Amino acid sequence: MACRNCGGEGLPALEEIDRIAREVALSMSGQLERPPVSGPALSARIEACQKCEGLAGSVLCTHCGCFVAVRALDPAQKCPHPAGSRWGAAGDR
Q: Which residue has the higher pLDDT, 18 or 89?
A: 18
What pTM was estimated for this model as a whole? 0.74
CB of 75 closer than 8 Å to CB of 93: yes
d(CA 84, CA 93): 16
pLDDT at 90: 56
d(CA 87, CA 54): 13
Q: Quick check: helix, strand or coil at residue 24?
A: helix
Kindly list the distances between the CA atom of residue 14 and the CA atoms of 31, 41, 84, 88, 89, in Å, as whole numbers in the listed order: 26, 21, 27, 25, 27
pLDDT at 53 over 60: yes
Q: Which residue has the higher pLDDT, 82 or 25?
A: 82
pLDDT at 42: 92
